[in-house]
Amino acid sequence: MEIITLLGTALPIIQAPMAGVQGSALAIAVSNAGGLGSLPCAMLSADALRSELHAIRGATDRPFNLNFFCHTPPQPDAARETAWRACLRPYHAEFGIDPDTISAGPGRAPFTADIADLIEAFRPPVVSFHFGLPSPQLLARIKSWGTKVLSSATTVEEAVWLANAGVDAVIAQGLEAGGHRGMFLNMDMSTQCGLFALLRRIVRAVDVPVIAAGGIADAAGVTAAMTLGAAGVQVGTAYLLCPEATTSAVHRASLGSAAASHTALTNLFTGRPARGIVNRLIAEQGPFSPAAPDFPLATSAVAPLRAAAEARGSGDFSPLWCGQHPPLMPGLDAAAITRALAGLAPG
């Protein structure tokens, strides 16, 4: 089935859900432009999610996507947390932060039955997942609403697993992609693969449509992905500078500078591998630290550093998520970017 038929959109362009840098405004703009707008829900409280859903339902009658994480919340590990704080101690001292005042607490919650209760009334046309899928019971419940389900695969094995579990389409997330790797069957980084090879291999391995993600920044990139067998594309970084995104000032400055041409996968900001622009924390600590607590617990001890540095106009301690292709259309709004990606307007 064609992806536009499956999703009910005019264009095969999915705006990637991007937790922390966007809300309903970006999703609405993309959906109204004919793409599939996405709302990242992993960092939203129940009240915030409900209000964002009302905003979307009030502003568009086009399909939209709700995105959730499916990680297993880790057991807090006191020894690991102590080791992590020891790594960060010089920075806490530099900014006058008392480590004893840092509250531990996960900033990202996985999908639960309570969330299913909340979203059911809104009948979301599409729900996408990162880091696997919820339980078969929850998945069946979502599908019983007529909702189409997508999830990210970073290996052929993950794509086959997702297809066997009943997703309607698989998102092939190439190594180029900004933000978190969706990896869930195997956390070995040597399994991760660039989009060209991953896409071809997944297209051969599964019967469901495959959506290409990672490093796609313009219409030529979209055409290339479709030529390689993608049914559609999911694009994130290209939207980070548009006015509808809530990307912070330091993140925008970095994305618009030469720094954006150097990204790395790092576990320093959340405990899971994610791609962002290399900044001071990554450069000084190295992109991967065995001391970083499991996702999302690493976030707590970095958060006050991030806040203190950002107050001084610095992104030295911020997760500057960005794919390997920096944004190409900095002056355009989300609708214009969507049309340009689809080849309907100049980019």
Ligand X SMILES: Cc1cc2nc3c(=O)[nH]c(=O)nc-3n(C[C@H](O)[C@H](O)[C@H](O)COP(=O)(O)O)c2cc1C
> Which residues of the chain form contacts with ligand X (CB under 6 A)?
16-19, 21, 40, 42, 67, 130, 152, 173, 176-180, 213-216, 234-237, 321, 323, 325
We find the least distance from the C-beta atom of residue 309 to ligand X, in angstroms, to be: 18
We find the least distance from the C-beta atom of residue 149 to ligand X, in angstroms, to be: 13
Residue type, 127: V
Residue closer to ligand X (CB basis): 177 or 260: 177
Residue closer to ligand X (CB basis): 16 or 250: 16
Which H or E element spans position 46? helix 46-59
**Token pair 């094995």: residue:** 157
The DSSP bridge partners found for residue 213 are 173, 234
Q: Are 295 and 271 in contact (CB under 8 A)?
A: yes
Residue closer to ligand X (CB basis): 16 or 119: 16
Query: Encoding tokens for residue 56?
Result: 């979307």
Q: Per the omega criterion (within 30 degrees of 0), is the bond before 209 cis?
A: no
Residue closer to ligand X (CB basis): 18 or 26: 18
Residue closer to ligand X (CB basis): 130 or 148: 130
We find the least distance from the C-beta atom of residue 99 to ligand X, in angstroms, to be: 28
We find the least distance from the C-beta atom of residue 260 to ligand X, in angstroms, to be: 11
We find the least distance from the C-beta atom of residue 89 to ligand X, in angstroms, to be: 28
We find the least distance from the C-beta atom of residue 218 to ligand X, in angstroms, to be: 11
Residue closer to ligand X (CB basis): 14 or 88: 14
We find the least distance from the C-beta atom of residue 90 to ligand X, in angstroms, to be: 28
Residue closer to ligand X (CB basis): 97 or 124: 124
Residue closer to ligand X (CB basis): 97 or 268: 268
Q: Are 214 and 195 in contact (CB under 8 A)?
A: yes
Tell me the three-class secondary structure of the chain, residue by residue: CCHHHHHCCCCCEEECCCCCCCCHHHHHHHHHCCCEEEEECCCCCHHHHHHHHHHHHHHCCCCEEEEEECCCCCCCCHHHHHHHHHHHHHHHHHCCCCHHHCCCCCCCCECCHHHHHHHHCCCCCEEEEECCCCCHHHHHHHHHCCCEEEEEECCHHHHHHHHHHCCCEEEEECCCCCEECCCCCCCCHHHCCCHHHHHHHHHHHCCCCEEEECCCCCHHHHHHHHHCCCCEEEECHHHCCCCCCCCCHHHHHHHCCHHHHCEEEECCCCCCCEEEECCHHHHHHCCCCCCCCCCCCCHHHHHHHHHHHHHCCCCCCCCCECCCCCCCCCCCCHHHHHHHHCCCCCC
What radius of gyration do the chain's Cα atoms show?
Answer: 19
We find the least distance from the C-beta atom of residue 57 to ligand X, in angstroms, to be: 21
We find the least distance from the C-beta atom of residue 152 to ligand X, in angstroms, to be: 6
Residue closer to ligand X (CB basis): 291 or 326: 326
